[in-house]
Amino acid sequence: MKLIYTLLIATLLSSSLLAQSTTEQAKLASDMRSMLNAVSDIQRAGFYANKTGIKDATNRLIMNLDSLLKTDAKKYLPHDQANAGKFAKKRVKMIKMYSADLIESVEHNDYDEAMEDYAQLLRQCTSCHLRIRNRPWK
């Protein structure tokens, strides 16, 4: 009887840990979709020199970046990619920096600089996705 209780408790604990990891992945995936939409909206607003649209979309991008800082990549990436979380956190800092520069460039009507900031922002996203997203998750 003790064996049955022990197995039941072990099963419940392991399933709760798995559920937490799955919940973190779902939140991260949702935030990634929001970031993709924000990046698309930045580009769309940029075509029409819509300052408010660019600023709003850039701020939405920045707000969703924090989930990358909060999640532990070791929980869902393969062991050979366990250090990729550090790489992702560095990309977050760079995206925030280029986003701030983008907003400042738009406020000063410097659209050439804003395009460069947007291109740098996309490079940060792409470099992380090339390194991490091309690998299967656990």
Residues of the chain with pLDDT under 70: 1-22, 76, 78-79, 82, 133-138
**76-103 burial, b if ≥16 CB within 10 A, otherwise e?**
bbeeebeebbeebeebbebbbebbebbb
Which of 40, 36, 31 shows the shortest CA–CA distance to 66? 31
- pLDDT at position 36 is 93
- SS3 category, 137: coil
CB 31 within 8 A of CB 24: no
CATH number, domain 27-133, options 3.40.1620, 1.10.3470, 1.20.120, 2.50.20: 1.20.120
CB 69 within 8 A of CB 92: yes
User: Tokens standing for 97?
Assistant: 């920096």
- pLDDT at position 18 is 44
pLDDT digits (tens, 9 = 90+) for 105-119: 999 999 999 999 999
User: Tokens standing for 14?
Assistant: 């392991």
